[in-house]
Amino acid sequence: MNVGSITGWIFDMDGTLTVPIHDFVVIRRELAMPADRDDILGWLDSLSEDERQQKDEILKRIELDLARQSKPQPFIHELLEQLQNRGCHLGVITRNNLLNTKVTLKAAGLDSFFDIESIRTRECAPAKPDPEAVFQLLNLWGTEANQTVICGDYKHDLNAGINGGIHTIYFNSRNDEQWKVLADLTIESWDELLRIL
């Protein structure tokens, strides 16, 4: 992948555009989620309708609270500005919901970079690693798969890119080696990408 030739840039939000404050330990405890389950949304879907709705309300409240405290990752503002100046398409695919996503991007000062149509939340498509939201953005933008990349800090982001046939960048902010194999490029910070653009 030649990052300079990429015209469609898709970002995960939590932990990628913003500093991770999703405290999964707290979320799991407040939802009383079993220790043997590792996918919150998948677990919620497996519950009875009443229980799912009740847990969903708790999850929404926790996530909105976290969204209001969002901070941008170092150098992400500069990176998005440079990509925007080059005329690249910028989008977000998040497993979060639309309300939280809007609150998060605004709190982090990044809302002006993304058109509302280029923000794909869990209301728009099945959650990552399903590639449906990737296909939606490719259609919306009219970009080729080989000119499009998804950047994320978690395996679901990278697998959504692989399943959608686009390039993948692993934002390895925690210096965790485990998902490098899923990525065309691994970076430790956004200024590292700025330097090679």
Per-residue binding string, Mg ion, 96-135, x by CB under 5 A, is ----------------------------------------
Q: Which is nearer to Mg ion, 14 or 63 (CB)?
A: 14
Q: Which is nearer to Mg ion, 63 or 153 (CB)?
A: 153
Cβ atoms 38, 174 nearer than 8 A: no
Cβ atoms 8, 147 nearer than 8 A: yes
Cβ atoms 193, 79 nearer than 8 A: yes
| 161 lies in the site for Mg ion, by CB under 5 A | no
Question: CA triplet 193, 169, 89: central angle to 5 degrees?
Answer: 75
| 154 lies in the site for Mg ion, by CB under 5 A | yes
Total interface residues for Mg ion by CB under 5 A: 5
Which of these segments, 6-14, 128-136, 137-145, 166-174, binds Mg ion (CB under 5 A)?
6-14
User: Which residues, in sequence order, are CB contacts of 93 under 8 Å at separation 6+?
Assistant: 10, 11, 12, 120, 128, 133, 134, 137, 150, 157, 160
User: Which residues, in sequence order, are CB contacts of 193 under 8 Å at separation 6+?
Assistant: 3, 79, 169, 187
User: Which residues, in sequence order, are CB contacts of 111 under 8 Å at separation 6+?
Assistant: 102, 105
**Out of 8, 110, 153, 169, the residue judged to bind Mg ion by CB under 5 A:** 153
Per-residue binding string, Mg ion, 8-27, x by CB under 5 A, is ----x-xx------------
Which of these segments, 61-69, 106-114, 126-134, 147-155, binds Mg ion (CB under 5 A)?
147-155
| 63 lies in the site for Mg ion, by CB under 5 A | no
Which residues in this chain contact Mg ion in the complex, by CB under 5 A?
Answer: 12, 14-15, 153-154
